[in-house]
Amino acid sequence: MSNIPERAGTLILSVGGSPEPLRHSIASRPWARVVFVVSEATGGGASSRGQVEDAEIVYNKEKGTRGPGLRHLPECPRDVGIVAVPPDDLDRALALVDGCLAREVGQGRAVTVNYTGGTKTMTAALVLAGAAYDGVRLEFVSGQRPDLVQVRAGSEHITEMPRHLLGAANLFALARAQAGRRAYGAALGIVDEIGRLFGAVPSGGAEPPASWRQRQQTWRDWLAVLEGWDRFAFAEAARTLAHGLARKAPWAQALENEGVGPRLRALAEEVKTGPGPALCEDLWLNAQRRAELGLYDDAIARLYRLAEAGVQARLNRLHRIADTGAVPRGMVPEDIAAGCSLRRDPKTGAETVALPLYRALLLLRQLDPGDVLAKVWPCDDRGFATPEWQRQRNHSILAHGFRPATEEDWKKARAWFEARRGPFWEELLGRATAPQLPDRLP
C-alpha cells in the first residue's frame, strides 16, 4: 500500500458495475475535480453512466445495500465531468481518455488515474493514456474477493501502479522490436537502460520480478554477442559467447546449436590470418543489415570493402599473399608495380608493394589467368572496368562527394554482387551463403 499525498487534484475514474471500490477512491483524499469515465450503451448493453448520475444505486447486490450515485456522494466535489467511451473499442476509448487527460494536465492540475472499474478495454485505455504522462499517478483499488463479482466491503485499499516497472515493460517491447530489425546496438542500449532502471528502484517501490531481472541479463548477454559481431569485433563477441557456454547458459547453447558459434570463431580466426571467404560472406550479410535499416551509404561502403576483400581473399588463400598492402616486391611484375607505393618491411627491411584494388586484380589474373573472379569482373578496352554501382558510390558522402546513396543505388550494387557470390566467397567456403544473423531475442 502506498502513502497517498493529501493534495487537491483531478481524479479520473473508470466506472463499471461495482461502485463500492470507486466510493473508496473518491473518499481517499480531497479532490478538486472528478472525471468519471463511463461506458456507452452500445449493442443493447447497459451504460455505467447511471452509477454516476442516478440519485440512488445498489452498492451490494447480495445484501441489497443502496446509496447515492457516485457524483452525489458527500466526498465527491461539485466539479464533475463525464467521458463516455465505447466499452470494446480500444482506439476510440484511448482517444477520448487521452483527450481528457491532455485537458486536465494542460490546465496544470495534478492528475490521478484510477482504473479499478469498467471493462478491460476501458482499463487498457486508462493505463495506456496515463502512462504517457510522467506526472500522472496510476492506481487501482484492491481488496479481498469472496467471489468474482465484488471486492469485500471494508477490505478495499488503494494500490499505486509501480510506474518504473511499467516503463521497463515498454522498454522490453522496444528492445524486442529493435532486435527484430537487427539493430543490435540500439537494442543493447535499451536493455542497458532497463538495467539502470532496475538499479534505481525508488525507496519503498516494488522490486522488479526475478524473471524480469533474468530476462534483462539474458538479453544483454545475447545482444552483446550480436552487437560485437555487427561492428566486426569478432574476438570480443566470441569471448562473450564462450563465457555463456562455460556457464551452460541456454541462450549461448542455442547460438552454438544454430551454427552461429562456429561461424563467429571462424571470423575471429580469419582476422588474424588475413582476409578469407568468411569475412567476405560476413561483409555481404552486414551490408544487408545496414540496408534493411535504410542506411544505404553504409551498406554500399561495406560492399566496396567486399570488392577489395574478395580479391584479397583469393590472393591469400590461393597464392599465400596475406596482405595486398605489403606484397613482396619480387612477386609483383614491373608493369603492375609501376606507380604503386613502395615500402620497406620494418622487420626484414625487404621492399614491398602496396596494391590498390585494380592492381591486385591484375596480379590475381597474372598468377592465374583462369581465375574465376578475374574472369567475372567487367572489362573494357583499357582493362578492368569500374562497375556502375562503384562509380555512383564514389560520389557519395562516404567517398568523394555529398550525394546520399539511394535505395536504387543499393539495389544495383546488391545485384552486382548477387551475381558473383560464387567467386567472391561461396567457392572458397565450399558451401552456400549462411543465413542472416538471428533477429529474435531468447
Sequence-ordered list of residues with C-beta below 8 angstroms from that of 61, at least 6 positions apart, any chain:
149, 150
Cα separation, 169 vs 147, whole angstroms:
30
Report the Cα–Cα distance between both ends of the chain, in Å, rounded.
Answer: 34
**Beta strands 341-344 and 351-354, pairing class:** antiparallel
Question: Helix, strand, or coil here: 259?
Answer: coil
Residue 12: what are its φ and ψ, rounded to 5°? -105, 120
**Beta strands 341-344 and 137-142, pairing class:** unpaired
Is the CB of residue 57 less than 8 Å from the CB of residue 50? yes
* Ranges in the chain, pLDDT < 70: 1-7, 43-45, 142-156, 202-206
Distances (CA, A) of 422 to 96, 271, 285, 310, 375: 59, 21, 15, 10, 12
The identity of residue 116, as a single letter, is T
- Name the strands in the sheet holding 341-344, side by side, starting at the edge strand that comes first in the sequence: 327-328, 351-354, 341-344
Predicted local distance difference test score (pLDDT) of residue 154? 52
The identity of residue 357, as a single letter, is L
Predicted local distance difference test score (pLDDT) of residue 374? 95
The domain spans of the chain are: 10-161, 167-255, 276-429
Burial status of residue 368 (CB atoms within 10 A of its CB: 0-12, 13-18, 19 or more): middle
Predicted local distance difference test score (pLDDT) of residue 162? 73
Nearest to 123 by CA among 133, 132, 113: 113
User: How many CB atoms are closer than 10 A to CB 252?
Assistant: 24
Predicted local distance difference test score (pLDDT) of residue 149? 46
Cα separation, 375 vs 365, whole angstroms:
8
Burial status of residue 336 (CB atoms within 10 A of its CB: 0-12, 13-18, 19 or more): buried
Residue 34: strand pairing partners: 11, 80
CA atoms within 13 A on the CB side of 37: 35
CATH 3.30.499.10 fits 10-161, yes or no: no
198-202: long-range contacts (C-beta < 8 A, 24 or more apart)?
A: 198/168, 200/164, 201/164, 202/164
Predicted local distance difference test score (pLDDT) of residue 34? 97
**Beta strands 351-354 and 379-380, pairing class:** unpaired
Q: Look at the chain and count its residues.
A: 442
Predicted local distance difference test score (pLDDT) of residue 205? 64
Find where cell 613482396 sits: 328
Residue 354: strand pairing partners: 341
Cα separation, 365 vs 121, whole angstroms:
70
The identity of residue 161, as a single letter, is M
- What are the tens digits of pLDDT across the range 131-154? 888 789 999 886 444 444 454 555
Cα separation, 171 vs 131, whole angstroms:
13
